Amino acid sequence: MKFIVLFVFLLLSSQNVLASAGCFSQHFRDAILINEQRKNIYASFKNGYTRKISDRLISMEKRMMIPAWISDQWTHFFHQKGISVLCTELQDMSLTPPMPTALPLSIQPSRKDFISFDMHSLRKSLNSSLSLGMDQFTKQVQHQLELLEKEPRVNCLVRHFLESLRSFAKSHQRNILNLPTTERKWFSAFTKLLLKGHIYYLHESHEIDKLALEAQVDGLPIICQDVPPIPDIYQFE
C-alpha cells in the first residue's frame, strides 16, 4: 500500500509527466530497435536458430517498457530536485558494440566457461542483502560480477543486469546525500523498487543466456555484442 501512495504522490508532484518518454523508456525503445535490426543478421547463420533468442530478448524488453514508463513518471519529482536518476546510470544504446564485419567469429568461447547460476538462491541472496543496506548489496553484486570476469563472451545478459544493479545502487548512495532528510525515505523506497525489478528479471536473463550459449560457442556473439557495457563509474571514489 505504501508503494501505491508513493507512486501517486510522486506522480501528482510532477509537472508535465507525459511530456517526454523519459530516459528509462527510451533506453528500452532503442534496445528493441537494435535487436530487431540485428535479428535477421544472426538468423542467417545456424539455420535461423538465433531467431528464438532474439525474439525472447525482444519480448522481455517489450514487457519491461510498462514498468520503465511508470518509473520515468516517478523520476520527474526527483529531477526537479536536481537528481537525474534513471538517466545518468544508463548507458546510451549508441555505445552498443558494432556488429563484427565477419561472422562467425574465428575465436569462440568455451561451453565450460558458462556459469549456471541457481537463480532462486541468487535472487533471494540479493534481496536479503538489499534489506541490509546499499553497502552490503553493492558488495554482493560486485562479488557476482567478479565470478563472470573469466569469460566475457558468455553470461552476457546476466552480467548486463548485474552491472545495472551496481550502477543504480552506487548512484543512489551519492544522490541521496543531495536530498533533504524528509525526502530520503521516498528516494530509498523508489530505488529499492527499481532494484527489486532488476533482480526479478535476472531469472529470465539467465534463461536467455542459456539459449544464446549454443550460438556463442559457434562464434555468434549474440547478446554480448548487443548490450553496452556499464562501467563502474564510481569505482575510485
Distance CA 158, CA 135 (A): 21
Which domain does 48 fall in, by range?
22-97+112-216
**Is residue 74, in this structure, part of any structural domain at all?**
yes
Cis status, amide bond into 104, omega within 30 of 0: yes
Total domains in the chain come to 1
pLDDT tens for each residue of the chain, 237 residues long: 444 444 444 444 444 433 455 999 999 999 999 999 999 999 999 889 999 999 999 999 999 999 999 999 989 889 998 898 999 899 899 999 999 999 999 999 999 999 999 999 999 999 999 999 999 999 999 999 999 999 999 999 999 999 999 999 999 999 999 999 999 999 999 999 999 999 999 999 999 999 999 999 999 999 999 999 999 976 644
Q: Three-class SS string for 83-100?
A: CCCCCCCCCCHHHCCCCC
Distance CA 80, CA 178 (A): 12
**Is residue 150, in this structure, part of any structural domain at all?**
yes
Name the 3-class secondary structure at 211: helix
Helix boundaries (H) for 14-133: 23-43, 51-63, 65-79, 119-131
Closest CA to 115 of 155, 74, 150: 155
User: What cell does 44 get?
Assistant: 542467417
**Is residue 179, in this structure, part of any structural domain at all?**
yes
Tell me the whole-structure pTM to 2 decimals: 0.89
Closest CA to 10 of 59, 106, 83: 83
Q: What angle separates helix 202-216 from helix 51-63, to the nearest 10 degrees?
A: 160
**Is residue 184, in this structure, part of any structural domain at all?**
yes
Q: What is the DSSP letter of 15?
A: S
**Is residue 92, in this structure, part of any structural domain at all?**
yes
**Is residue 2, in this structure, part of any structural domain at all?**
no
**Is residue 127, in this structure, part of any structural domain at all?**
yes
Distance CA 44, CA 63 (A): 26
